[in-house]
Amino acid sequence: MTVARVWAEHDLTPWRTETFKFSTDPQLHAKVEDLCGLYLDPPAGAVVLCVDEKPQIQALDRTAPTLLLRPGLAERRTHDYVRHGVTDLFAALETATGKVLGHCFSRHRHDEFLVFLKQVARAWPRRELHVVVDNAATHSHAEVTAWLARHPRITLHFTPTSASWMNQVETFFGLLTRQALRRGSFASVPDLVATIGRYIAAWNADCHPFAWVKDADQILVKAASRRRPAQPA
């Protein structure tokens, strides 16, 4: 009880742990300032899109039906399952509205990324597009770069390394996982793809943008503070 009282007095919770990772990107400052500028003060008349892939989504089918929640009883499901395959979701989130364009592919190479980029271009025609992506090799492949050179209205902006949280579509992926995938049971890959499609359609029917509240200075100051070694008590 004495130890617990000391912890409480000093607001210490030693049973909790969190992880973090420093970005070693040599262009960290420039990229953070670029993305925060797009989110907080986008170019007039342009569309800002956050694009990424959610790969290897598994179509898992429980070996017995899930027993639903009842008074006094938690939801119960079998520990074992059948794996029917996987799909790879490509998604683009419009930061101004929260609207999501999604498409599932069987793979996630540069070929599929380029096909999806063309879908994005058709979905937002005759508009200047600023597309936020991470540093995956597929996003800077020679064929992708060549296609972008022929379509100068589309510009890619890269997140810093180890900073995927700066891509707002990751927030949408988190919601999709928690609300539609994690507790689902899917008899086939087409069943999984259909579930993802229904979720995106329902989201777009009542979508909203995600509020970006921190500017570049705030993010960089916090990043710098985490790099400083802790002072001895």
- Looking at domain 23-67+74-226, its CATH architecture is 2-Layer Sandwich (3.30)
pLDDT digits (tens, 9 = 90+) for 107-129: 999 999 999 999 999 999 999 99
Of 22-26, 89-93, 150-154, 222-226, the poorest mean pLDDT is in: 222-226
Mean pLDDT, rounded, for 148-167: 94
**């600023």: which residue's tokens?**
130
pLDDT digits (tens, 9 = 90+) for 35-82: 999 999 999 999 999 999 999 999 988 877 777 788 988 877 777 778
pLDDT computed for residue 231 by the predictor:
54
Percentage, residues of the chain above pLDDT 70: 96
- Per mean pLDDT, which range of 23-27, 31-35, 155-159, 209-213 is the poorest? 23-27
Q: Report the distance separating Cα 129 and Cα 124, nearest Å.
A: 8
**Given its phi and psi angles, is residue 174 left (phi above 0), alpha (psi -120 to 50 degrees) or beta?**
alpha
Delimit the domains of the chain by residue range: 23-67+74-226
- Provide CB contacts within 8 A for 25, sequence distance 6+: 31, 160, 161, 162, 163
**Residue 217: pLDDT over 80:** yes
pLDDT at residue 201 tops 90: yes
Amino acid at 110: H
Residues shown for the chain: 233
How much is the mean pLDDT over the chain?
91
pLDDT of residue 47: 97
Which of 6-20, 49-63, 142-156, 217-231: highest mean pLDDT? 142-156
Question: Model-level pTM?
Answer: 0.85
Q: Does 92 score more than 60 pLDDT? A: yes
Q: Are 50 and 93 in contact (CB under 8 A)?
A: yes
- Per-residue pLDDT band at 207 (split at 50, 70, 90): very high
**Confidence check: pLDDT of 136 > 70:** yes
Mean pLDDT for the stretch of residues 203-226: 87
Which one, of 156, 212, 216, 211, lies nearest residue 28 by Cα? Answer: 216
Assign 145 a pLDDT band (cuts: 50, 70, 90). Answer: very high
Is residue 224 predicted with pLDDT exceeding 80? no
